[in-house]
Amino acid sequence: MSFIQIGFLAALAALAIPIIVHLVFRQRPKRVELGTLRFLRVVLEHNARRRRVMRWLLLALRLACVALLALLFARPYLLAYSSSGQKKTAVVLIDRSASMELKQEGVRAVERAVASVHELLGKAANNTRFEIAFFDHQVRPLVAPQPGEKAEGKRRDVSVTELASKLVAPAASYGGTDYGAALEWARDVLSKAPAGPRELHIYTDFQQSGLAWSEVDALPEDVAAHLHDLGRAAVNNVAVVEARVERSWLRPDEQTSIHVTVYNGGPFAADDVPIALKLTSQSRKLELREQVKVESGAMESVRLDLPPLAAGLWQGTVSVETEDDLPLDNQRHVALLASPPYQVLLIDGRASPSPVLSSTYFLDAALRLAPPGELYSASPFEPRQIAAGETIPNLDKYDVVVLSSVGDLSRRDADKILGLVERGGGLFVFCGDNVTAEKTTALETAGLSVGTITGIQEATDLPLRFKKWDAKHPIFAAFGDPQLGDLARLSFSTATKIEPAQGATVLAEFQGTLSAVIERRIGKGSVVWFTSSCDGAWGDWTRSRLYLPLVHQFLGYQSGLLAGGRVRYEVLEGPVELPADAVPGSFENERFTQVINSSPRESETDRSTVEEFVNRFGLKPTAETQVEVAAVPEEQTAAGSELIKGEFWHWLAMVLVAGLVVEGLVANRTTA
């Protein structure tokens, strides 16, 4: 048992009042003389035991009445109104996906959810530990775990007051709905919760598209699920669910198209939905308009052909100019970059007048080709060759520097390259005859080495082959399926033996634990060493069909192409690596432009039934399932005036009244 108004317990000091009254008044009896006290004595002796009991009973009743009065004002409530009395854990998941922006009576669904959770907190028993999280495509705990809590699997108890103070509806929601992630988080929290009743409250609109994400392990058996429905039955929504640019990074004065898909989620067909594309690049503007008719529940695509774009970054939106219930999905952000491809500087340590004899011949040729399978025929790289010993030009315009069998690099050049790497560029080093410990001191001094060169390993009976590689690394992720290209088939005759330095990562190895690919992160960029050569001197892999894709992967990784290129599109759904507060828009970074759009799934406002939801995630629903959450009242209830679940002051009031009645009866029948 605990109390809401603990300060009123000070009134228990009033317990002294009956005692004081008794002590004070017992000193003031009226004096009466009688001829004999024999009758009184008989009566008092006869009732002595009864009177003593009654006196104590009377005192106890009076003290109890005073105590009850004090307790009454202190508003006691049961720590646990369940019979077990154990600490209860309640996990609250609040859907803050984009669809929760739908308004009902002028109030957003997410606001209604937050108000309802406030009500839940207000009524909660004191022994209830709450874990609250907003979720869309990510789970955002209201109180982030403190350092160390996550590792220990323990969470500090956060007071209801603190939670209530932090629980504020987000200003706007853009994310997709991923019930799976949210329930996975809830399952983890509930599994680690201390013994006792466990509850799960989900405040959501039951958006059907949210069901289709990852599989979720079933919640513990004893978890009672409370589902709170905030959805709307009928939604009039026309949305741009896709604005796909055929080539978001193109060459200046090239032409491309944008494929726009419009979805009509409303109950009626939408005729002549106006679509507008608005792009700007510095002072230049481009605007295209189109109209489309979309049937109810259907999607229609429109292709917007852009004129040749001048060099520069073109940013803007594709939008449907209509009014509906969910305005935030009426537009999607687009960005196009008209610029040259990645600039790659190839420094050849074995330059030769005959291009065939130089060590970068095959590399240069491969980089100038588009990788197989790409619609666009042009290569994303524009290599430039210089011979080792030549002055390295200004590297500001370069994205990657490739050293091929380069030794004796000057310290100044090494520092230039270091500067490039620290700014986010890449250095790729192919070994060769010139790459020895003695000849790479400048690189080592500049911190561009990945380890200690201990010599050269030549193949004897069998060629050197990739024994293992990090399939999750972006370089090798494309080769995860051997049918697409088995890296183990590449053969090398010689490789430089490098003992990886601390901080360096071996991405691939030849047989015999001979490092093949070693990476080291420096600043914003990285240095990658390949311990064999990029030409035919140390192997015949240049003739393999994997040569071109592998070197494209090598340099694509270092240039940022594998991370998305110059223009990267992200959708706020699924496990994206975006800041938690990311919002739709087009944002310029140092080496790329990021375009963020809300999840197109959120435009599909179809709702699942509670049964579907429960069956999908194996929940154990309660009688309170699908409680309709009312709109936020205009005037919030005054803090502290609402009744907390488990309060029993009204019972105390009844006991007090009964106690007063009994006290009156006992007092009239009790003699001193």
Partner 1 sequence: MSYDPRQLVSPAFFSRLDNLELRARGIVEGFMHGLHRSPFVGFSVEFASHREYAQGDDLRHVNWKLFARQKRLYVKQFDAETNMNLYLLLDVSGSMSCHSKGVSKLDYGAALAAALAHLALKQHDAVGLILWADEVIAHLPPRARPHQLNEILRAIGNIKPQRISNSARAFPQAAELCNHRGIVVVLSDLFDDIDAIMKGFDRLRFAKHEVILFHLWDPWERDLPLEGHYKFHDIETGEVLLTQAEGIRDGYLAEVGRWRDEIEALCRNRSVDRVELTTDDPLDQALLDYLVRRAKSF
By the criterion CB under 8 A, which residues form the site for partner 1? 25-26, 28-44, 46-47, 51, 668-672
CB of 27 to partner 1, least distance (A): 10
Strands 627-628 and 223-229: parallel
Distance in Å, CB of 20 to partner 1, minimum: 16
Residue 414's SS3 state is helix
Between residues 50 and 289, which has the closer beta carbon with respect to partner 1? 50
Measured from the CB atom, the residue of 54 and 478 that comes closer to partner 1 is 54
Residue closer to partner 1, measured from CB, 166 or 669: 669
Decide whether 26 or 156 has the Cβ nearer to partner 1.
26
Shortest Å distance, C-beta 29 to partner 1: 4
CB atoms within 10 A of CB 14: 14
Angle (CA) 40 44 50, round 5°: 155
Q: How far is the CB of 669 from partner 1 (least distance, A)?
A: 6
Two tokens, residue 309: 């774009």
* Other CB atoms within 10 Å distance of the CB of residue 398: 21
CB of 48 to partner 1, least distance (A): 11
Given a contact cutoff of 8 angstroms between Cβ atoms, the answer to whether 620 and 223 are in contact is yes
CB nearer partner 1, residue 44 or residue 311: 44
Nearest to 138 by CA among 220, 214, 190, 206: 214
Asked if 120 contacts 88 with a C-beta cutoff of 8 angstroms, the reply is no
**Residue 46 beta carbon to partner 1: minimum distance, rounded to whole angstroms:** 7
Number of residues that make up the chain? 672
For the record, the structure tokens of 310 come out as: 């001048």
Max Cα-Cα span within the chain? 148
| Angle at CA of residue 98, ends 95 and 102, nearest 5° | 90
Smaller CB distance to partner 1: residue 524 or 669?
Answer: 669
Place of tokens 């620290």: 422
Tokens of 324: 């509906």
Residue number with CB closer to partner 1 (25 or 651):
25
Instruction: Please classify residue 635 by burial: count the beta carbons closer than 10 Å to its beta carbon, then call 0-12 exposed, 13-18 middle and 19+ buried.
Output: exposed
Enter the tokens of residue 671.
């003699």
Q: Work out the burial of residue 669: count CB atoms within 10 Å of its CB; fewer than 13 is exposed, 13-18 middle, 19 or more buried.
A: exposed
If DSSP codes are grouped into helix, strand and coil, which group holds residue 561?
coil
- Shortest Å, Cβ 28 to partner 1: 7
Q: Considering only CA atoms, give the Rg of the chain.
A: 38
Q: Identify the helix (H) or strand (E) that includes residue 16.
A: helix 16-25
Minimal distance, residue 31 CB to partner 1, in Å: 5
- Tell me how far CA of residue 192 lies from CA of 128, 181, 187, 216, 377, in angstroms: 15, 17, 9, 17, 54
> Assign residue 21 a region: left if phi > 0, alpha if psi is -120 to 50, beta otherwise?
alpha
Cβ nearer to partner 1, comparing 471 with 666: 666
Minimum CB distance to partner 1, residue 49 (Å):
14
Q: Which is nearer to partner 1, 609 or 671 (CB)?
A: 671
> Rounded to whole angstroms, what are the CA distances from 20 to 25, 207, 461, 660?
8, 67, 107, 19
Nearer to partner 1, 51 or 497 (CB): 51
Based on CB atoms, which residue is closest to partner 1, 21 or 212? Answer: 21
Write the single-letter amino acid at 110: V
By C-beta, is 359 or 670 nearer to partner 1?
670
Distance in Å from the first CA to the final CA of the chain: 37
Confirm if 329 and 239 have CB atoms less than 8 A apart.
yes
Closest approach, Cβ 34 to partner 1, in A, equals: 6
39 or 268: CB nearest partner 1: 39
Closest distance of CB 226 from partner 1, Å: 58
Q: Which is nearer to partner 1, 27 or 460 (CB)?
A: 27
Taking the complex as a whole, how short is the minimal distance between the CB of residue 662 and partner 1, in angstroms?
16
Smallest gap, in angstroms, from Cβ of residue 62 to partner 1? 15
**Shortest CB 37 distance to partner 1, Å:** 4
What DSSP string describes 288-344? EEEEEEE-TT-EEEEEEEPPPBPSEEEEEEEEE----S-GGGSEEEEEEEE---EEE
The DSSP 8-state label assigned to residue 252 in this structure reads T
Q: Which residues on adjacent β-strands are paired with residue 104?
A: 107
